[in-house]
Structure formats: C-alpha cells, structure tokens
Structure 1
Amino acid sequence: MLKSSTLILCVLCALDCHGSPPKFQEETDSICRLTDAPNQCGAYCQAALFPIFDHMARLRDTLKKVEDSMESNKKMWERIVKHMEDNQKNLDRLQEKLQNQIQSNTYAPSPTISNSTACEKVGSKCFFIEKEVARSWNASQDACRLIGGHLAYFQNQEEFDAINAKVNAGSPYWLGISNFHNKNEFRYVDSNKPAEFLQWNPKDLPDIDSNDHCVALHLNFTYLRSCNIPRLFICQRDQKIL
C-alpha cells in the first residue's frame, strides 16, 4: 500500500514538473517548470521513500535478531540433547551395576555355616569347623547362632589339640573369646566369663593397647587380631554353658 502511494506521488510530481496539457497551461499560470528532472523528481521520490527504507532497515535488524536467537536456541538444544545422552549413559551404567550387585547378592554365601561342615565331637561338645567361607568376628558369631551355638573356645589342652589337628594349618580361625569390655580381661562370648584356656605364641604376645580385640586360632597358638578382617571360624554347640 505504501509503495503504491509513493508511486502515485512520484507520477504526480513528474506531471506537475513537466507541465499540464497545452489547454490547461493556457488557462493557468503553472509555477512548476521541469528544469532538472533527476534532482527535482528524484529528490522528492527519495524523500517519500525514506519511511520505507527505515522500515526495511528495522525489518533487517529484527530478522538478524531472530536469526541470532534461533542460532542460540539451536546451541541450547544441542547442549540439552548432549546432557540427556550423558544422563542416559550414566543410567545404563547404574543399571548394569545394580544388576551385577543383584546377581552377586543372589549368589552370596548363606549367613550360616556351609552345608559340608560336619560336627567334630570332642567330649560333650560338638565343634563345626568352617573351612569355606570367611567372615568377620561378629558375622561368624551370627552364623554360629543360626545353628544354635556360638563361636568356639577351649577349656583344656585336650580340646585344643583335638580341634587344632583338624583345621587347615595355614588359615586362622575365629574363636569365641575377646577383650571388648576390658582390655586386660579375655572373656567367653556366650557367658561373658573369664577365659580359662589360652595358648599365646611367646613370640607374638597380645598387644592389649591395640585396636585388636578378638582371638583367633592359627599355627598351634591363639592370637589377638582385628575383629573386622574376614577369617574362617569354629562354632561350638553343646548343652553346658560355662
């Protein structure tokens, strides 16, 4: 619409400057004479077109802003997509880790002693020597409780020698003796009474000031060791509690 109006104005300007038809010129005294067409009409049309030029310039600026915004949005979406892909990879790794953990827990050892562990009868006591699954001292005690017993201890040399002859010589075994409550006193796990029989290694006497509080059988002697380290263990089940 603006272009049409401008064109009409330019035509009128040209007619005015070239003069009216002869008859009309005779009757009127026109004050416009075309002496410099390029400057007279061109300047008028150019002035009339200035609003269009300004409008087009603003449109170009707006278009440039839209293009910049689209480019910025494109980069933003690319970052979002990359972030989503990274999250998906992390989820895949987590799922794989959880599946492996589930499988590992599925095949975890039973909380009690191995089925192959048989009773070794010594006097009135029944000893179970766990030779397959190592556990911490507390976990070993829990496993013994599940069969109605407790971690084993010895009351005399006969019991000690009988069981010591049946264990694997190179492996340490947890016993039901500790000094948790008093570093100077070693007590039985089931009755909390003072231990009557311990056979310390003269070359490795217990360091009662250390963080080791649990007694283990190893290489024909008893030793004081860290309770958290998994070891094999010996359970005891009998009718008499000291």
Structure 2
Amino acid sequence: FAAHCLDIQNMQRLSTSLLLALFAWNAPMPSAATQSVCLLQDAPKQCGEFCLTALSPMLDHIARHEAEWASSVLQANATGARLARIEALQTAMNIRQKALQEVFPKDIGARLDRLESQQAALLRILSQFDRKIVPPKFELIGTRFFYIEDETRRNWTSAGSSCRQMGTQLATIRSAEELAALRAKLNKERHYWLDITDLEKEGDFMVSASGKRPNFLKWRVGQPNNFSGNQHCVDLLDGLMYDNKCEGLSYYICQSDDDSLD
C-alpha cells in the first residue's frame, strides 16, 4: 500500500514538472530569440491540445492503476480490522488465563477436600465391616459391642493397653440411652475407666483415641474437680462420671469399634 502511494506522489510530481516545462517553453522570449522560435497564434487551444497529448500516457497509467490503489486501501483497512480483532482476542485470552490461574489452586484444594471426605467415609464403611467380626468376650449392649473387665483392676494407661491388645480401645459413651444400657450391666459399687482425659489441657476433656471431644458426658455433681491437682482421667461409677488419678486402679470397659474413624 505504501508503494502505491509513492507511485501516486511521483506521478503528481511528474505532471507538475511537465506543466512547468510547457509553460516555460511558451513563455515570451527576448526579441533576439523570437526570430528562431515558432510563435503561438492560439495559445489556449494549441497548449491545451499539446498538454493533453503530452499527459495522455500518464493519465492512462493513473486510470489503469486507480482501481488497484483503491483495492489496496480496502485491503489495508481489512487488515487493520483483522489486527484489531486479533488484539481483542488476545486480550480476552489473557483475561481467561489469569482467571484460570486464580481458580486452579482453589479447585485443587476443593478436590483434595472431597478426596479426604471420601477417604473418611470409606474408613467408616470398613469399620462397620470390622464390627461384624466381634472379638471374644464382647457382647452387644445397646447398639454396640463392649467388653466389661470385672476381674482385674489396672491404672488408666494399662487399661487402655489391655484393650488395644484385643484390637479394641477403652470405651466412650455416646448417648444417655447407651449409658443406661451399660449401667444395667455394671457393678454399681465399682469404678470403670473410660477413654476420656484432660492430660493435654486442664479442664479440656478429650477422647484419647480420636483427639476429639466426647459426644456425651454425664458428670456427678461437683465433678470434675481435679482434687489435689492431679485428677486427669475419667471413670464411671453407678452411671456418673468422675475425674480421678490416672495412676489409680479401676476396672475398665473396652469397645469393639474405633473412635478415631468417626
């Protein structure tokens, strides 16, 4: 397109030069020279015909290329429009890429959360299958299987170890209904260890197996009192809970299911 524009400019300069040459040719000459020069009798007519004849090839050239130059202008405009569309598309792609970069890490985090949730659900299902394989000496009390140790007393740590040797854990109680069912099976004059302690933080009682707060607590009036400042393990007496010294000896209750999977 720039080359065509230069052609037009060159043609215009050539036309101007020719016209100036013609005017110079026909300008009045000194008297000494007029004797050897042909004088014009009808200047407008003679010059017009001469100029038309002289410029005719140039005019024909301009006519032949005028459509081509116009087409070049249209092509240049179309090219500019295409470039504008490409730039707009590139801008849109950049915006989309930035949005994806912002969303991608969040999406990965959400997927990981879903996978962890599915894994926990699978573990609960496996735990339910495990419950069908009831260890010896365990009996169904309420809706779960428990073992009540009524022969040997142990401290809280040893009682938990004894349950784990059977593939189980010290018991926790999940509801008032379950407590009532257990109470009917227990000796009302004996203490039984449960898997609840505030060894990590005074007054913040947690289930040892899961590290979570127990679903259900039923303290005796005035309990827990942390008497002497060293009562950090929970036992059960006649349907009520007490905090006692973990080193003390008590009977204990094991449960077949694993609280860490809940």
Give the TM-score normalised by structure 1: 0.49
* Greater share of residues in helix: 2
Give the TM-score normalised by structure 2: 0.45
